[in-house]
Amino acid sequence: MNRADLLACLECDLLQADIAYPRPRKALCARCGAVLYQRHAEGLSRTSALTLAALVLLAIANSFPILSLELQGERTAATLAGAVSALWSQNLPAVAALVLFAAIVMPLAELAALAWLVLPAQLGRRAPLFGPVFRLLEFASRWSMIEVLVLGVLVSYVKLEHIANVETGIALWAFVALMIAMAAIEANFDPRDLWEQATAGRGWRRA
Amino acid sequence: MSASAARLGLVGCPTCRLVSRVPPAEAMVCARCLAPLHLRKPGSIRRCWALLLAAVALYVPANTLPIMYTSSLFGSQDDTIMSGVLFLWGSGSWYLALVVFFASILVPLAKILGLALLLVSVQLRSSWRPAERARLYRLVESIGRWSMLDIFVVALLVTVVQLTALAAVRAGPAALAFGAVVVLTMAAAQSFDPRLIWDPLEEAHA
């Protein structure tokens, strides 16, 4: 017995029946208040558009300097990859790895997994390795910390202002735009929708 | 009377959300997406305690050792997390000082205390204010990532300043300890199973 209208809250396990009509946009658990789902009619197409935009922004953000500093005619610039290698060369490989992981690898994994899953779903197809890639997406979205990085840049800027002439780079604005794009994805993407789209087609083992 | 899926012999897939009858123990995978199924996260309480205690142990060096060494023509300076906050406060950026104080000092502390409270209450099979405890869990889970703030700040400062001849910034050992606290508390929050908060209530009603 697998009934599509049954919902088990992920946070308190309360079993609930979905309202079939009119379908609510957002449903909260009746007992603990956790979000059961949030649906938008255009959710998946918005998610795919935002994901493509975010991938472009991520490429820009990682190719240009975030901040640059001018001190006695000397100019130095920090890219994100430069920050990782600076920490590495200071004998803090674990901290370097953490920055690499939370600010570069996980955001890339999150967006790549989203694109992998959502774009074929838009064309009515199911991406290969759907389940494993979906689990990668859930893991990556917990550990990707673009918004924290943006705040970190702001704090660094204020601290550096007292030492020298500091300027913001293109990558900072790309990161700000990326942060907004990722927040918009979070507001529009509903995993249940994706699973329903993906399993509507043929080729799924129906229990 | 409302009941949990587990009580009714059902299990929700954490990956694709499909609700199905609990399969036999040797085949605990979701019929739709083949993800592993668990009625409750295995070893949740033990794993959460282990990660939390490790985080508590590292919280001390993270806050007492220097996170950054700065040297310039005007002398050198060791900064701990707290002295970094005080520097921001003293230089007139009190709003950023508050943000860093919140992210680097209050958030890890709140996470550690919050998770300890949740763990103890679950182990006592308490039925005290479950909705508030569920909200506390969501709070602990959502604020955790903001502690990474100081790690990013150190990374950026080290990089921008290291190449100039006049000043140098080096990361200190607290950066390692603090990074570990962030990762351990986030992992602890993820290993906690909030459904355990609600289980004792159903038994009391049954």
Which residues of chain B lie closer than 8 angstroms to A99, CB-CB?
Answer: 151-152, 155
Angle at A150 between CA B76 and CA A26, to 5 degrees: 150
Helix A80-89 and helix B149-162, axial crossing angle in degrees, nearest 10: 80
Q: Which of B4, B21, B84 sits opposite A13 (nearest CB)?
A: B4
Residues of B with Cβ-Cβ distance to A97 under 8 angstroms: none
The structural domains of chain A, with segments of one domain joined by +, span 1-38, 43-200
Please check whether residue B194 is in contact with residue B134, taking contact to mean a CB–CB distance below 8 angstroms: yes
Q: For chain A, positions 3-32, list CB contacts with chain B under 8 A.
A: 3-4, 6-16, 30-32
- Amino acid at site B86: L
Q: What is the pTM of this model?
A: 0.93
Residue B25 sits at the chain A interface (C-beta within 8 Å): no
Model pLDDT for residues B154-197, shown as the tens digit of each residue: 999 998 887 666 678 889 999 999 999 999 999 999 999 999 99
3-state class (DSSP) for residue A116: helix
Residues of chain B with Cβ-Cβ distance to A92 below 8 Å are 171, 175-176
Residue B67 structure tokens: 């996170």
* ipTM of the shown complex: 0.93
Residue B57's pLDDT is 97
Q: Which of A17-26, A126-135, A163-172, B178-187 has the least mean pLDDT?
A: A17-26
Smallest Cβ–Cβ distance between B198 and the set A1, A32, A92 belongs to A32
Domains in chain B, CATH or no CATH each = 1-39 (no CATH), 41-205 (1.20.140)
**CA pair distance B145, B103, nearest whole angstrom:** 9
**Is the four-CA dihedral A96, A101, A102, A104 of positive or negative sign?**
positive
Cross-chain Cβ contact A102/B131 below 8 Å: no
Query: pLDDT value at position A25?
Result: 84
A146 touches chain B (CB under 8 A): no
DSSP reduced 3-state for B71: strand
B35–A contact, CB cutoff 8 A: yes
Which chain B residue's Cα is nearest to A93?
B176
Interchain contact, B198 vs A78, CB within 8 Å: no
> In chain A, what percentage of residues exceed pLDDT 90?
65
- On whether any CB of chain A is under 8 Å from the CB of B200, the answer is no
Q: Does A173 touch chain B (CB under 8 A)?
A: no
CA-angle at A59, arms to B68 and A49, nearest 5°: 125
pLDDT of A54 over the 60 cut: yes
According to DSSP, the residues that pair with A15 across neighbouring strands are A8
Report how far apart, in Å, the C-alpha atoms of B9 and of each of A168, B20, B23, B39, B157 are. Answer: 57, 9, 9, 10, 55
